[in-house]
Amino acid sequence: MGAALVLALPGDCAAATAVTGELLPFDANSLAALRKSHAGKPFVLAFWSVYCEPCRDEMAEWDAVKRKHPALALELISTDAPADRALIDAFLKKYPPGPVRQWVFADAVSERVRYAVDKSWRGELPKSYFFDAAHRVEVKSGKVDRAWVDGWLPRQTPR
């Protein structure tokens, strides 16, 4: 059921769910659906967990990035199990990431979802994937570098 919901999200729906605080289910099919909904446009996937100390600080960084670049399609994905929903909600309340669309792994076996995103990803967090307009990806492990993002974004505008 979760995969059908994600695959059914049209591009217009992305903006509608961006600031609702709803946690959308992210599964092995979600990246393909996001690539389709962001066709021809850059976007960022940022993975985090309630158990990740640097992820706490990173939420303020993502908030600042999104406020400076409101058109940036930023998808924040919790790698925690669906059963950790109360912990996720408490984390997001304490460390609000700002007006971004939020997801949570829909599969309690996180390895299946991670493998679908990146076959070499072993679970280190935070982890971000920066997709350009052609969906070539630059992968960054560790806390987001706001200066790097500020430099990356202008290169994404079609000339």
Q: What is the pLDDT of residue 158?
A: 59
Backbone angles phi, psi at 127, to 5 degrees: -140, 130
Average pLDDT for 103-132: 96
Given a cut of 60, is residue 138 above it in pLDDT? yes
- Report pTM: 0.86
In this predicted structure, what is the pLDDT of residue 60?
A: 94
Superfamily of domain 3-155: Glutaredoxin (3.40.30.10)
Question: With 50 as the cut, is the pLDDT of residue 16 above it?
Answer: no
Q: What is the mean pLDDT of residues 98-117?
A: 94
What does the pLDDT read at residue 156? 83
pLDDT at 5 over 50: no
| The pairing of beta strand 137-141 with beta strand 127-131 | antiparallel
Q: How many CA atoms lie within 13 A of 132 on its CB side?
A: 11
Predicted pLDDT at 140: 96
Average pLDDT over residues 29-35: 97
Mean pLDDT of 128-156: 93
Going across the sheet that includes 137-141, the strands are 23-26, 101-105, 73-78, 43-48, 127-131, 137-141
Model confidence at 10: pLDDT above 50: no
Question: What residue segments make up the domains of the chain, in order of their start?
Answer: 3-155
